[in-house]
Amino acid sequence: MSTYIYFTKEQREQARRTDLANFLISQGEKVKKSGSEYEWLDGLQKVTIRGHLWYHQYEQKGGDAVDFVRRFYNKDYAEAVEMLLNGSGGQIITSPPIERVHKSFELSPRNDRMSRVFSYLLLTRGVDKDVLFEFIRNRMIYESADFHNAVFVGYDSSGKPRHAHKRGTVTSNPYKGNVAGSQPEFSFHWHGTSDKIFLFEAPIDMLSYISMHKENWKNHSFAASCSVSDRVLFQCLKDNPNIKNVFLCFDNDEAGQTANKRIADKLNIQNEILIPTHKDWNEDLTLSEKGDERICHQVL
């Protein structure tokens, strides 16, 4: 029978507010600095840490330090509090209250030329030029003036930019990230008029799938969550009540397929999961161009 442990209110609060990055380091874990936050890997899945708070990017769940120890160290509440209070050699570093700072969304300045983006998306990634030029013509893809990133822009229903995803064009240093202040419900997407929408993890996977299924592609709706979130999907369904069929097209790995199933369970309309043959749709595209057999779900 487990022993009852009494904790004062102050002790419980101290444990709850334990700085998780310091705690993990004290446990011999590796954490990676990422802007104002830290990243820790749960297997291959990323967990974002900010002070005493954490968020599992693929499961879309989070909590405080006590929740973290219960979830990832398989402890009950009392064991988790005791572990946190005894961590770091008995000295606990607690996090101050987090002040949410609202960052206004602002697009990076556009470069006068797009030679880097053209080379990267057309030659390295194999995106079809007609597909690429259609998105460029609609001001949805451009090259940034500062770091020559490919920038994928998402607009709201009034045509105002609300989201931007940046992808480095240097293959040896594949930077990617969303612009500060981006609203995930408006991430990179295309509105069509048919009853079908296709949801992807990344803009390049979305462009790759379209490149392999070009016929009448502009009639359909497409969205890239720039993560494994479903927020852009439900915003598109709200903005396009004509959509009756959802195709979930996340990566062919554990995280992607877990997200596919999670989102499918939330939908109350017809849906289907499409799985790329290789890791993702861009691999399917580039390997097929090199002579590899192409096996894709033709549903357009």
Q: Which of 62-76, 81-95, 102-116, 259-273 has the lowest mean pLDDT?
A: 81-95
Q: What is the pLDDT at residue 92?
A: 42
What pLDDT, in 10s, does the model give residues 93-119? 444 544 444 568 899 999 999 999 999
- Considering only residues 87 and 37, tell me which one the structure prediction assigns the higher pLDDT: 37
Neighbours of 179 (CB within 10 A): 18
Closest Cα partner for 183 from 230, 224, 232, 238? 232
In angstroms, the Cα distances linking 260 to 47, 48, 86, 198, 255 are 19, 21, 39, 12, 9
Using pLDDT thresholds of 50, 70 and 90, give the confidence band for residue 166: very high
- Considering only residues 61 and 214, tell me which one the structure prediction assigns the higher pLDDT: 214
What pLDDT, in 10s, does the model give residues 25-37? 887 788 888 877 8
- Considering only residues 45 and 209, tell me which one the structure prediction assigns the higher pLDDT: 209
Percent of the chain with pLDDT over 90: 57
DSSP track, 133-199: HHHHHTTSEEEBTTT--EEEEEE-TTS-EEEEEEE-S-TTS--EEEPTT--GGGSSEE--SSSEEEE
The DSSP code for 71 is H
- DSSP, collapsed to helix, strand or coil, labels residue 222 as strand
DSSP track, 223-263: EE-SSS--HHHHHHHHH-TT--EEEE---SSHHHHHHHHHH
